[in-house]
Structure formats: structure tokens, C-alpha cells
Amino acid sequence: MRSHPAEYDFASPGSLAGVLERLDSEPGEWLPVAGGTEVMVQYGAGRLRARRLLNLWNIVDLRQITETSEHLSIGGGCTFAQLRGHVSVQEHFPLLAQAASWTGGIANQNRATIAGNIVNASPAADSPPALLVYEAELELISARGTRRIAYADFHLGYKKTALQPRELLLAIHLQKRFAGWFRYAQKTGARNAQAISKICVAAVGKLRDGRVEALHIGMGAVAPTPLRLRKTEEALLGTILTEDAIANGRRMLLTEIAPIDDIRSSAEYRRQVAANLLEDMLRNFAAKGNAA
């Protein structure tokens, strides 16, 4: 059954302060909405439980990308079109620009926001693996102040996050420290565009004298939350990427992931493809060295 507009309230305070005041005075009563790409799917299908919606689209404070010589800060309301086209994102965080280009089609990218992608907390979202490997930090804001947490600590379980009812995701902060690192990103889906991931992976790393000096691996759609493969990383640190090391990495990965059967794929398919993508990444890493 489709939703009926008369059943919903839609408020547009017009400023960040006004939004925060509304969230603070009635915590848990309002659902903040920016691009609305996910909300409108639920609304159209009659599955949108929230009945009071708070408009963020016209909040300029959430739409800025700022930078210093060492950091890049992305406002939570920035769209994926902004990210994929921003020179500094392309230069310093190319995996995030790549993920932005994978997220829906052009129309969706012009509306969908980075904060919405994060807060929606889908384990199959395209941007989280890149944010995990770049070790992003999130700035959360309420009428009572701001706090920062590592993005790796944000997802607490399936569709559960550390965001409190009075808070918004204000900005994503990234350190410009990955110049010269090897990088890798792949996504498997039912088609080349506008497809939800069966699996997506992002990785960055460094070699020194042929050995793995640093390695960050993130995967989506293989666990209840976006996953940083820390045990697999640890197993590969300090190694030369021989056939035995790659095989050990595959084995370790299979102990970390917990995919499920769903409408898009089977758990067994995801296990096999995840291991294959890891192997492909490691072979590229070994062949290309650091910068890629």
C-alpha cells in the first residue's frame, strides 16, 4: 500500500540552528531528510515508519567541502555529485571519488548525500569501505555541542549506529596522508550502473623492500555492518606477497566475514567473490608496488 502525504509532517527550519533546536526539543520525533533518495523509496512503498520529517536540503552549513594542507572536511549534506567532481577528493581520496561514481545513477548522485549514505547504515553501501580504509573521523552535532568519533566505531550492528536522537552528522574529516599508497577498489553487482553491491571492496597499502608495511582493507555486503578486515591486514603485515601469503590472506578473510543469503546473492557466492577480490587486490599490490 502506498503512503498518503496527509499522514506526514514535513518541517523546513531553514538553518542548522533551527534543525538542532527541533531535534533537541523533541528527540526521536523527527527524521532528518537531506536528498531523500532512500526515504522516498520507503515512502513510495508504504514502508516509511517516521511520520515527521525534517528538511536538511537547504542547510548551507552542511554542504561545504573545506581543506587545509593536512586535512579535508566534507559536510554531511554534500552530494555524491559534489564528491566525484571535487578536485581535492579526486587527488587525495580517489577511492571515495570512485565510490561516489558507483552510487546510483546521475540523478541519484545529484541528490544523495554522504551523511545519508552513512547514517542509513546499509552494509552494502558504496562509500563506507573507502571511509574505513582512509580512517575517516565523523563530527556529530547537537544543540548541546559537537563530538568526534572514528568512523570505524560508528556502526554498532545491523542498521544500528552511534548517532543519538538529538544529533546530526555534521562532517566527515579525512587526513591527507595516503599520497603514494597503492589503492584498489572493486564493486560487483547485477549490472554496471545503478546496482546495489553484491560485494564492494576498497584497499590502500604500502610496501617497503617488497614487504607489506601498511595495509587497510574495507568491504561491504559481507557482514551486518561495513567491515574493516583487521585480522586479514595483521596476517599480511610484514610479509612478502608470495602464493603462500596470498592463500593465508584468503583463509583469514573467510574467518572475518559473515555474508548472508538475500535477494541479490547467496552467502557462498559472496564468500568466494570476497576471497577472489582479496587475491586480485594482493596480486595487483605485489605487481605495482606502492603508487597505483
What is the count of structural domains for the chain?
A: 3
Neighbours of 60 (CB within 10 A): 11
Chunked into runs of 10 residues, the chain (292 residues) has average pLDDT values of 77 95 93 85 78 91 96 97 96 96 87 94 93 98 97 96 96 97 89 72 97 97 96 98 98 96 88 96 92 66
- Dihedral sign of CA atoms 262, 265, 266, 271 in order: negative
Q: What is the pLDDT of residue 1?
A: 58
Q: Which residues pair with 33 in a beta bridge?
A: 55
Return the half-sphere exposure (C-beta side, CA atoms, 13 A cut-off) of residue 165: 10
Q: Which three cell numbers stand for residue 250?
A: 584468503
Burial classification of residue 255, based on how many CB atoms lie within 10 Å of its CB (0-12 exposed, 13-18 middle, 19 or more buried): exposed
The answer to whether the CB of 198 falls within 8 A of the CB of 221 is yes
What are the tens digits of pLDDT across the range 14-43?
999 999 999 999 998 999 999 887 777 787
Name the pTM for this structure: 0.94
Domain end marker among 133, 154, 175: 175
Whether residue 92 sits in one domain with residue 141: yes
Residues 6+ apart with CB under 8 A from 213: 205, 206, 207, 237
Whether residue 142 sits in one domain with residue 101: yes
Whether residue 133 sits in one domain with residue 88: yes
The answer to whether the CB of 75 falls within 8 A of the CB of 52 is no
List the CATH number of the domain containing 126. Answer: 3.30.465.10
Q: Which residues of 210-238 are buried (b: 16+ CB within 10 A; e: fewer)?
A: eebeebbbbbbbbbbbbbbbeebbebbee
Q: What is the pLDDT of residue 289?
A: 82
Q: What is the pLDDT of residue 190?
A: 64
Q: What is the pLDDT of residue 195?
A: 62
153: nearest Cα among 117, 118, 113: 118
Whether residue 258 sits in one domain with residue 203: yes
Whether residue 125 sits in one domain with residue 34: no
Q: What is the pLDDT of residue 235?
A: 98
Whether residue 281 sits in one domain with residue 248: yes
The answer to whether the CB of 254 falls within 8 A of the CB of 267 is no
List the CATH number of the domain containing 44. Answer: 3.30.43.10
Helices (H), 106-238: 106-109, 114-119, 127-133, 230-236
Q: What is the pLDDT of residue 170?
A: 98
Domain that holds residue 50: 5-55
Domain end marker among 129, 146, 175: 175
Domain end marker among 125, 159, 175: 175
Whether residue 163 sits in one domain with residue 210: no
Burial classification of residue 111, based on how many CB atoms lie within 10 Å of its CB (0-12 exposed, 13-18 middle, 19 or more buried): middle
Helix axes 243-256 and 267-288, enclosed angle (nearest 10): 140
